[in-house]
């Protein structure tokens, strides 16, 4: 999935760090075995997530929407010593794949997988304070997830939300429900005084939010 033109995307991938071997394998296997493989963050966006995580050096990361664990592993690269990623996936069928992928990348001790609907799981995690969160699950709930977790992010911590340019539809004249939901999300966050924000035109649009 590319929001940028293909030649630019290829150039960017050739001029960032290479995809680590385990992630390259997970990327390939995801495209071979999963129904919607382009849900995976992929090489360039994965390096962005890794870079942001390394800059924050989080002790605790929250991810909503694990899929095959690609972004989870990228985010785990920046964890502080002894840090953990809490990641939530509703689809129980991914559990075995995720176990294998986390072992392949040797991050199994740094990742706590929760299987269940994010709203239910988040309720049980409400005591935690996170340094970084990545929202990448059911797109209609993005704003609800943001509102649920903003008080659980430490000042200076990041929330990253994927797909916010929605294939470029948010700035066109599309009127469908999903596009309107993304417009509402982006408009709400744009005027929030609680956070600093920047949409990066990476892939389908990555919104980086820093809590003041």
Ligand X SMILES: C[S@@+](CC[C@H](N)C(=O)[O-])C[C@H]1O[C@@H](n2cnc3c(N)ncnc32)[C@H](O)[C@@H]1O
Binding residues vs ligand X (CB under 6 A):
39-41, 65, 67, 70-71, 88-91, 117-118, 136-138
Of 114, 136, 168, which is closest to residue 45 (Cα–Cα)? 136
Instruction: Look up residue 136 and give its DSSP letter.
Output: -
Least distance from ligand X to the Cβ atom of residue 59, Å = 20
Cβ closer to ligand X: 40 or 209?
40
Can you read off the two tokens belonging to residue 103? Answer: 């072992």
* 3 state DSSP class of 7: helix
CA 25 from chain centre, in angstroms, equals 19
- First CA to last CA across the chain, in angstroms? 32
Task: Report the residue number, 3 or 118, with the smaller CB distance to ligand X.
Answer: 118
Nearer to ligand X, 29 or 138 (CB): 138
Q: State the virtual CA torsion across 209, 59, 150, 46 in degrees, nearest 10.
A: 40
CB of 64 to ligand X, least distance (A): 6
Helix (H, G, I), strand (E, B) or coil at 44: helix
What distance in Å separates the CA atoms of residue 59 and residue 32, rounded to the nearest whole number? 34
CB of 157 vs ligand X, minimal distance in Å: 18
From the CB of 40, what's the least distance to ligand X, in Å?
Answer: 4
Q: Is 59 helix (H, G, I), strand (E, B) or coil?
A: coil
C-alpha distances out from residue 27 to 30, 179, 185, 194, Å: 5, 28, 29, 36
By C-beta, is 76 or 137 nearer to ligand X?
137
* Closest to ligand X by CB, 31 or 194: 31
Compare residues 9 and 41 and give the one whose CB is closer to ligand X: 41
CB of 46 to ligand X, least distance (A): 8
| Residue nearest ligand X, Cβ-based | 65
Q: Name the minimum Å distance from CB 89 to ligand X.
A: 5
CA 200 to chain centre: 13
């Amino acid at each position: 999935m590319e929001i940028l033109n293909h030649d630019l995307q290829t150039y960017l991938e050739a001029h960032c760090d290479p995809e680590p071997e385990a992630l390259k394998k997970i990327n390939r296997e995801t495209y071979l075995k999963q129904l919607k493989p382009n849900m995976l963050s992929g090489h360039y966006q994965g390096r962005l997530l890794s870079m942001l995580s390394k800059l924050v050096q989080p002790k605790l990361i929250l991810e909503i929407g694990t899929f095959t664990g690609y972004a989870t592993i990228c985010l785990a690269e920046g964890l502080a010593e002894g840090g953990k990623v809490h990641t939530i996936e509703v689809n129980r069928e991914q559990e075995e794949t995720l176990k294998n992928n986390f072992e392949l990348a040797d991050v199994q001790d740094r990742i706590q997988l929760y299987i269940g609907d994010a709203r239910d799981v988040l309720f049980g995690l409400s005591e935690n304070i996170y340094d970084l969160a990545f929202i990448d699950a059911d797109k209609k709930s993005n704003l609800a997830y943001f509102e649920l977790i903003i008080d659980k992010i430490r000042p200076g911590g990041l929330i990253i939300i994927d797909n916010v340019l929605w294939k470029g539809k948010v700035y066109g004249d599309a009127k469908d429900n999903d596009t309107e939901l993304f417009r509402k999300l982006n408009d709400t966050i744009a005027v929030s005084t609680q956070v600093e924000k920047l949409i990066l035109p990476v892939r389908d649009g990555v919104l980086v939010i820093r809590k003041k």
